[in-house]
Amino acid sequence: MIQKIRITLLLSILLFGFTNINAQMHCRSTLGGHLTPFHKKVPLLWAVEGTMAPGIMTSPITGEDPAMLNGGMLIGALDFTTKKHTFYVEGGYKNWKNSELTQPVTEFSKHLGMRQAFYGYNGDKTNIKLGLHETKLGNYFLIDERILGASLDQEIGAFTLNARAGTVMDMFARMGRFCGNRHLYNLITNDFTENIGEKGGETNLAGFVINWNPNYKKPIETNNVDEFSEFDEFSNSDDFGDKKSKLVANVGLIVYDEFGKIIPDNKLYLGSIIDFNLPAKFGFQTGAVYQNMNLNNTFVYIAALNRNVTWKSGSLTKMEVAYIGKYNIDNDAVFQPLFSNMFLGEIMRLDATDFPLWKASINHNFPGKLKFNIGLKGVGQIEANKTSEIDLEFGMKLFNHAKITTIFSWVGSQALQEDIYMGRLELRIAF
């Protein structure tokens, strides 16, 4: 079995020209795409999704005696949406089993959990969420979390404001044992990212991003819309759009704070990210964030190049390569936003504390009913234990309700005595 995993990884790497690729896989849940009305006259939608995830992984100590991995989840959702208002609830049951690779014991867990429960207002230029919900803060890598609080997105001409405020508890946090799967592999030791509060107010966040779009053009109001409708396809074409787009695509400024009863040192983040439109339809993102914290003052900077290619067949290829660096003001400073949750790598889940990092990815989606996709991704530490991981993922849909995903991973690190090989299958069925 292990030899087959090694051969598969090697062939896949050669197939893609030995490109060391990104790590964080996309969310594989299909729950949102199966929301179905209870009745045609009632705007109440529902969906249920079940997941089975068996796998096998070699031991980080001997490279032999592979461990069997297993996990499952059953989640359900209710969505009541009118023209501008939404009430959404999502929760479920999860179980997982991990044959401990570093200890002679076997851990097993069963528990219920709530993922989201919020009210949303969906206006023309204003969007608001109140309650328990998933959220990010613009294109920044500081927040990717579930919070109990409020999110506001407001458009003001060429500017947009994204504001977030709330508390995070381990019972629903993305990195928690109900929502995450780091515990499934059991290779990551506890660190400060495990210090999420058990009660509201113990670990909190608040911040905002202001984005400016230099390509913004004020909409022209006219009463003769139909007269020009035949020209709509030209206004959205790539040939005309690229020539009119400016070099700078977006400029963002951020102010973000983490605080709470069990956060000993207040953490303030200030930064900016600039997106560029490059020739040949390449996108380029660069920026820097400053962490102001007692004895942990540091800068983190990012440079990311990406390109999407749409083929005549209808296939879509997405490519990205990025470097995230760090410059310390205080000796041995650690960049440590609690709620970044980049989770780079299927197994290692590298995050902000592991900067500097490189990451790259190539994903290809084929047309057709099966919606077959393949992704090769990788991530690596520049310093510390110089941990590297390569992940290969295949996925397809069956009968409109089932999704099968196979994942093969390789991990090498100075912190491990042997390289790790893992293979895992995910079967999701949703109605």
Residues making up the chain, counted from first to last: 431
| Other C-beta atoms lying within 10 Å of the C-beta of residue 242 | 12
Q: How far is CA 348 from CA 12, 93, 286, in A?
A: 20, 25, 25
Tokens standing for residue 425? 């299958």
- For residue 237, the one-letter residue type is S
- The rounded distance, in Å, linking the Cα atoms of 74 and 59 is 29
Q: Residue 21: what pLDDT?
A: 28
The contacts of residue 160 (CB under 8 Å, 6+ apart) are 153, 154, 210, 211, 213
- For residue 43, the one-letter residue type is P
- The rounded distance, in Å, linking the Cα atoms of 161 and 167 is 20
Question: Residue 389: helix, strand or coil by DSSP?
Answer: strand
Going from N- to C-terminal start, the domains of the chain cover 2-219+233-430
- The rounded distance, in Å, linking the Cα atoms of 82 and 121 is 10
> Which has more confidence, 403 or 20?
403
pLDDT tens digits, 121-132: 999 999 999 999
**Angle made by CA atoms 298, 299, 303, in degrees to the nearest 5:** 155
234 contacts 240 by C-beta, under 8 angstroms: yes
- The rounded distance, in Å, linking the Cα atoms of 3 and 358 is 28
pTM value is: 0.82
DSSP character string of 265-300: S-EEEEEEEEEEEEGGGEEEEEEEEEEE-TT--EEE
- Which band of pLDDT confidence, cut at 50, 70 and 90, is reported for residue 3? very low
CATH code assigned to 2-219+233-430: 2.40.160.100
Beta-bridge mates of residue 324: 302, 357
175 contacts 195 by C-beta, under 8 angstroms: no
**Angle made by CA atoms 278, 345, 6, in degrees to the nearest 5:** 110
Question: With 80 as the cut, is the pLDDT of residue 181 above it?
Answer: no
Cis peptide before 356 (omega within 30 of 0): yes
Q: Residue 189: what pLDDT?
A: 53
Tokens standing for residue 129? 């969420």
- Lowest mean per-residue pLDDT among 150-159, 186-195, 369-378, 421-430: 186-195
**Angle made by CA atoms 279, 280, 285, in degrees to the nearest 5:** 60
Question: With 70 as the cut, is the pLDDT of residue 292 above it?
Answer: yes
- The rounded distance, in Å, linking the Cα atoms of 279 and 276 is 10
Question: With 90 as the cut, is the pLDDT of residue 8 above it?
Answer: no
Render the burial of 369-397: b for 16+ CB within 10 Å, e for the rest.
eeeebbbbbbbbbeeeeebbbbbbbebbb
pLDDT tens digits, 328-359: 999 989 998 999 888 888 888 888 888 999 99
Mean pLDDT for the chain overall: 82
pLDDT tens digits, 183-231: 566 665 555 556 789 899 999 999 999 999 999 988 876 655 443 333 3
